[in-house]
Structures are given as structure tokens and as C-alpha cells.
Amino acid sequence: MPHLIRSCEGLITYLFQGIYDIQSSVVILPMNEITITRPDDWHAHFRDNELLKETVSASARQFSRSIVMPNLTPPVVNAKMAKAYEARILAARPEGSDFTPLVTLYLTNVTTTDDIKDAKEQGILAAKLYPAGATTNSSSGVNDIEKMYPVFEVMAKNKMLLLIHGEVTDGEIDIFDREKVFIERYLEDIVKSFPDLKVVLEHITTKDAVDFVKGSSPNVAATLTPQHLMLNRNDLLVGGVKPHYYCLPILKRNTHQKALREAVISGSTKFFLGTDSAPHMKDQKESACGCAGCYSAPAALELYTQVFDELNALDKLEGFTSHHGADFYGLPRNTQKVTLVREAWTIPNELEVVGSRVIVPFWAGNKVTWRLK
Ligand code: NCD
Ligand code: ZN
């Protein structure tokens, strides 16, 4: 009964994965619990005002720090706005929380080198490049990337990181090719022209991006989201459109998903956690013209853990969630620990956030196999 034998072997490996030393045959402990350095989220959208209570608490539950995206309306375009936004986020933290928001600057066509210097003086670590029209709230973004080179030069000198939404917006370019074309048209030249500039290619979705980042200098890194690790475009489109899986850059074919999954467990320090958690109200997602973005913060760490577990790579989880990002940003690693236990639970279908308005969290109604203690 070869089939039965294979399943038994599978079961044994499953039960004792990662803790079973084949050479000595010593079984230490079943991998039902994992303790790691408290993680950080290097890409999150908190929005503003009445939504902050929800978004900040959801992130503070698991993360020590979050890089907070500046695509508010109006966008956070200077240090003064960024510091005011930071204060609103700090005021929305749950009681006793020491969560640290790391606010960022939104680059526009009229951003000046003085804006950068001023932001740096105020302790702002990074600025975000949105090609105009690429995604949610990006209409104030950049039209001509080369015109930004003087700004990039000052960023490099001042050791400010450049965070990039890497998609072209040219109507001629197919939505599934927009990341690849951005790399070829713009990113290759940016990293060549500014070798000292630290660049994070945000929420990568393709093998092309993985290969580009791997092949670049140590000053180039990437964040990866739970949805792009867990899903591909079939999940979005086969058997009906799933608006809650619609985000930008859009989910790609399964070969790309596979490349992303391989990248995060490769141990390369160039890849780190960035949820791109991006809440939109349910009615705005379930609409004839639905918004792009998945609200993953309520279970982000658990979902990443699930992915690493599926890939038998829980030993690579901590680097990705808690070390690589801090090291790349030049910040100290967190000293606190968090523990996850193997325990199934179901993500709620809806979260009531503002009055009676609701958000459907990412992976709503589905099982998660790990829970944060
Ligand atoms: C983000 C949002 O809603 O702000 N949406 C998304 O689909 N990821 C913006 C972004 O990061 O592209
Ligand atoms: Zn984002």
C-alpha cells in the first residue's frame, strides 16, 4: 500500500516538522508554538481620523513599528503634515501601547529638495513615490520620474529611503505587465543613477521583481504582502470576481506567486514584511467600480506564519518578519518577543468600524491556522 505509507510519512513530517533531527533521530518538541522577535510592518495604510482607532489598534496588536503610507486626501507632502499625522496616530493608540508609527512623505511633481532636508531633520525616514494614477489616492503622484532625480540625489545624501509603488500607468501597458515594465523603464535607471540611495520596491508581485531585487546591490530591497503570497489571479477571477482580493499591484499568475513564496523563504535579507494593509469600506469594495486594497492587519502575522508553515520554513519566519526590515532601514531590532500557537480560528466576516459602516477584512470567513498569543 504505497499510498498509505506515503501519507503516514507525510503525517510524521507534518507533526514533527522543523524539530526532528534526522541524523540523531532526536525529537525535541512538536512545532505547535513559535516565539519570535516582535515584528514590524514596513508598509501599512492607516487612513485618518475616525478610522485610526481601528487601524492603529489592529497593527499595534502584533507590530512594534509600522511604516505608514502618506496617501491620505490630501496627501502628506511635507514634514509639518507628517508630524501632525504622526500625532493623530499616536493619540489613537490603545492604552499603554508603545507602538511606533513611522510616517512618510508623499512625493509630488513639486516636492523640493528643501522638503526632503526638512523632513530628514524632523526624523522622517522615507518618502514614497507613486506614479500618478497608479493606485488608490495617487492622483497627486509623480508624472515625470526623471524630473525627480534632484530630489532622489538629496534623499541619497541625507540617507532617506525611497519607497516605490512600482507600476507604470501607461494605458497601453497591460495591467498584469505594469510592474515588470516599471522595472525596465524606470527602476533600473534609478538604482544605477543613485547607487547610494536605499530603495524599497513595495508589495512586489512578480518573478521579475524578485529577480531584479536579488540581482541588485544591497541597497535595494522589497516588501511582500500576505495576499500576494497566498493568492494568484485565479483566486481573484475564477468562478466570479472577488472584490476583496482586488488590490494593486493586481494578483498575478501562479508562477509569480510561486516565485514570491520562494523568495521569502530563501533567507535573503532583501525581502521583508510589508502588509500593504489598506482598508476600504465594504460598500466601496463591493461596487461597480471597486476600490483597490486588502485590509490584512487584523490577522497579518498569523497569515504570514501560515504561509511559512505551508512551505515548511518556519525557521525563516523571524528574519522576514522581524530582522531584515529593521536592518535595511538601519533601525535597531526589537527586543520584545511574541509567541504564535498552532490553533485554528476563523477571521470575522465583517468589522464594524465607523458607526454602522463595515470593513470586510482580508481572508474574511476563512480559517487561519496560527494564533498570536
Ligand atoms: C492601497 C490603498 O488602498 O491605499 N491599495 C492597494 O491596492 N494596495 C494603495 C497601494 O499601496 O497601492
Ligand atoms: Zn500600499
Q: What is the pLDDT of residues 105-159, one digit of tens each?
A: 999 999 999 999 999 999 999 999 999 999 999 999 999 999 999 999 999 999 9
pLDDT of 372 > 90? The answer is yes
Amino acid of residue 135:
T
Close Cβ partners of 347 (under 8 Å, ≥ 6 residues apart)? 298, 299, 361, 362, 363, 364, 365, 366, 368
Decide: 293 in ligand 1 pocket, CB within 6 A.
Answer: yes
Q: Which ligand lies nearest to the CA atom of residue 43 in the structure? A: 2
Res 25: pLDDT: 53
Q: What is the pLDDT of residues 162-188, one digit of tens each?
A: 999 999 999 999 999 999 999 999 999
Amino acid of residue 117:
K
The ligand 1 atom nearest the CA atom of 45: 4
Close Cβ partners of 130 (under 8 Å, ≥ 6 residues apart)? 71, 106, 107, 138, 141, 142, 165
Decide: 247 in ligand 1 pocket, CB within 6 A.
Answer: yes
The ligand 1 atom nearest the CA atom of 137: 4
Arithmetic mean of pLDDT, 250-279: 98
Decide: 40 in ligand 1 pocket, CB within 6 A.
Answer: no
